[in-house]
Amino acid sequence: MDPESERRQRLYRVSAIVLKRREQGEADRLLTVMTRDRGKLTLLAKGVRKPASRKAGHIEPFTYVELLVAKGKSLDLVTQAETLEAHRALREDLWRSSWAYYVVELADAFTQDEDPNALFFDLVLETLGRLNAGVDPALAVRYYELHLLSLVGYQPQLFRCVQCDAPLQPEVNFLSLERGGALCPSHGSHHPETIALPVPVLKVLRFMQTRPWEQVAQLQLSPAVSRQVESILARYIVYHLERTLRSPAFLEKLRAMLARTKMVNAEETANGESNGEAALSINDENAPG
Ligand SMILES: [Zn+2]
């Protein structure tokens, strides 16, 4: 093989979302990226912390970037980078940044190296795009959580009792983390491990699981229902991440978030405003049933 074609064989091109980066040596960075075709990769970007680096601006967190990569002995090297979507608002606005960090941390935690999942990749990219465009971040992220669970094989069953298979009735039902879905009152209510699913909370979860984003974006949730949905999804995610033993540091953060949510819920209960049923409004003729 002539040297030129040998060189070309060692190069490959990927479209990637930058999930995280860390410093390496004096001037280099290690990047964790998610790609559509090759899954998650760890790449070395040499010299990017030097002021004159042309690659540096393209490989910030949350950017969607096209990379030309050279196969290396241990790590593959980024040789060229070109921005496809900068998602600039996600870095300039601290509030949106924090949501975006959560999105990429979940993407990192729920993927293995070199195990591509194109639909999951598309979901991450769409979610970052929505956050960047300024949609209600809580809705975008809840939608993301529910859909990523489906895409990685942990879709919660929200329509039938996972024990008796009976369709759930409009009453307080229960969620079993362990069994990955809802239980009817006769199978869930006496179980210490289950979480109560009030009617409006189950409605919102089902709606988000089955409707396209354009409809979910129209939802207006009361703060109480919004927090209950957040807390239930966080517990569900922690449970399934823990079982697969991924990302312990991230789990710590999620647990801290969960503790804060619990504190807020407890305060609300103390103030007698925990039932958000009346404030739920779904701006859609075909409200979820
Ligand atoms: Zn049942």
Domain boundaries, the chain: 3-88, 135-279
CA 186 to chain centroid: 33
Please give the radius of gyration of the chain, using alpha carbons only, rounded to the nearest integer.
Answer: 22
Could you say which architecture CATH assigns to the domain 135-279? Up-down Bundle (1.20)
Residues with Cβ within 8 Å of residue 270, at least 6 apart in sequence: none
Using CB atoms within 10 A of its CB, is residue 20 exposed (0-12), middle (13-18) or buried (19+)?
A: middle
Q: Which CATH architecture has domain 3-88?
A: Beta Barrel (2.40)
**Spatial contact of 230 and 237, defined as CB atoms under 8 Å apart:** no
Nearest to 68 by CA among 77, 60, 59: 77
Backbone phi, psi, residue 167, to 5°? -60, 140
What's the CA-to-centroid distance between 193 and ligand 1, angstroms? 15
pLDDT tens string, the chain, 289 residues long: the values are: 676 776 667 999 999 999 999 998 888 999 999 999 999 999 999 988 887 788 777 889 999 999 999 999 899 999 999 999 999 999 998 888 889 999 999 999 899 898 999 999 999 999 999 999 999 999 999 999 999 999 999 999 999 999 999 999 999 999 999 999 999 999 999 888 899 999 999 999 999 999 999 999 999 999 999 999 999 999 999 888 876 545 556 666 666 766 666 565 555 555 544 333 333 334 333 334 3
At 94 the pLDDT is: 86
CA of 187 to the centre of ligand 1 (A): 5
Q: Which pLDDT value is given to residue 56? A: 76
Ligand 1 centroid to residue 172 C-alpha, Å: 12
Q: How far is the CA of 176 from the centre of ligand 1 (A)?
A: 12
- Contact criterion met (CB below 8 Å) for 197 and 182: yes
pLDDT value of position 284: 35
How many whole angstroms from 196 Cα to the centroid of ligand 1?
Answer: 14
Whether 3-88 and 135-279 share one fold: the answer is: no
Ligand 1 geometric centre to CA of 182 (Å): 9
Q: How far is the CA of 189 from the centre of ligand 1 (A)?
A: 10
